[in-house]
Amino acid sequence: MSFDVISLGEALVDFLPEKAGARVRDVEIWRKCLGGAPANVVVGISRLGGKAAMCGVTGEDELGHFITEELAREGVDVAHIRHTPLGKTGIGFISLTATGERSFLFYRLQAAEFQLGLADIDHAFLRSGKVLHLGTNSLLLPSAREASLAAAKGARDAGQIVSCDPNLRLHLWKEPGELRALLDQLLPHCTLVKLSDDEMEFVTGETTPKAALKRLRAQGVAVPIITLGPKGAVLLAEDFVEVKAPVVQVVDTTGAGDGFMAGLLFQATRVASTRAQVEALTSQELEPMARFGCRVGARVVTRLGAIAGLPRLNEL
């Protein structure tokens, strides 16, 4: 196989304030950074020493080329990123409180990322990765949903590992019920699914992590995971596995979940290259993988932005 992880979905540009503590309207100096959850994950994989690729759509504009250049500089394969004149590259302004919590202001409702379609799904290429990793934020249009579902189904039918972090941004959806229906179709194709504790009720209807994990397992997810912020994570294999996160000084929580997924998937791809091999992993084998994911996520929150804190393997 050519890649450890191939991400399908959005890549956008985050604008981060020079320093935390100001509202968007009060920030005087912004810094542009690579963003988008699927893109963050493959940068994390590459920095840890894995081989990663990105598939998606950006604008045929300066920011779209900034994205591909930054990903390539990080060692991520960008041959399957398409630039289109039919939309601009999405951007988001991320405002931080003094404690590092985020609020978002997005300019992406007409963004190029939503132009993803079946023509972008090269099944032979996608199957060249051990893992196909998916998000949901670029799936507002029916054509993009069809493409993502086709990719997930094709990977599942081929015995590939399919990973999903929905990374919910409900404000992007005029009808959140459409997103819930999409997840009901997508998640049964997935081998690993990560939800944060504030996403689990929307996705599963359950209010406790263990109940949410059981619901995901009932949908066919082999390894469901709930992240708990500074408390760590809990996942379900043959039994529940709980891991704690390292205690760190939080600067910015942006990208913590993406860092967790990068760490977990990097470790998983050291020992597994098929869905069946992931299904065979025991709780004892998955526990250090989740703990490693927490370590990577904890490093991310010590720096401003989703990318800056992603560590290299020797730093861990």
User: Can you tell me whether residue 2 is helix, strand or coil?
Assistant: coil
Q: Which of 97, 93, 108, 76 is nearest to 15 (CA)?
A: 93
Q: Is residue 35 part of a domain?
A: yes
Task: Give the range of the structural domain holding residue 46, as residue numbers without chain letter.
Answer: 3-309
Tell me which residues of the chain have a pLDDT lower than 50: none
* Separation between Cα atoms, residue 190 and residue 164, nearest integer Å: 7
* Separation between Cα atoms, residue 68 and residue 64, nearest integer Å: 7
CA atoms within 13 A on the CB side of 192: 34
Domain count for the chain, please give it.
1
Q: Is residue 260 part of a domain?
A: yes
pLDDT of residue 106: 85
Q: Any idea how long the chain is?
A: 316
- Are the beta carbons of 149 and 188 closer than 8 angstroms? no
Q: Is residue 314 part of a domain?
A: no
How far separated are the first and last CA of the chain, in Å rounded? 26
Determine how β-strand 52-59 pairs with β-strand 102-107.
Answer: unpaired
Q: Is residue 316 part of a domain?
A: no
Q: Is residue 77 part of a domain?
A: yes
pLDDT of residue 101: 65
pLDDT of residue 94: 85
pLDDT of residue 102: 66
Q: For residue range 232-273, what is the model confidence (pLDDT) as tens digits?
A: 999 999 999 999 999 999 888 889 999 999 999 999 999 999
Q: Is residue 122 part of a domain?
A: yes
Which DSSP state fits 302? T
Q: Is residue 99 part of a domain?
A: yes
- Token pair in block for residue 288: 């250090």
pLDDT of residue 98: 67
pLDDT of residue 24: 81
What ranges make up the beta strands (E) of 21-172? 30-35, 52-59, 77-84, 91-96, 102-107, 129-134, 161-164
User: Can you tell me whether residue 183 is helix, strand or coil?
Assistant: helix
* Separation between Cα atoms, residue 43 and residue 34, nearest integer Å: 10
The residues facing 193 across adjacent strands are 164, 224
For residue 262, what is the domain's CATH number? 3.40.1190.20
Q: Is residue 69 part of a domain?
A: yes
Instruction: Give the C-alpha distances (Å, rounded to integers) separating 152 from 131, 135, 170, 222.
Output: 11, 11, 22, 15
User: Can you tell me whether residue 56 is helix, strand or coil?
Assistant: strand
pLDDT of residue 138: 87
- Are the beta carbons of 76 and 133 closer than 8 angstroms? no
pLDDT of residue 52: 98
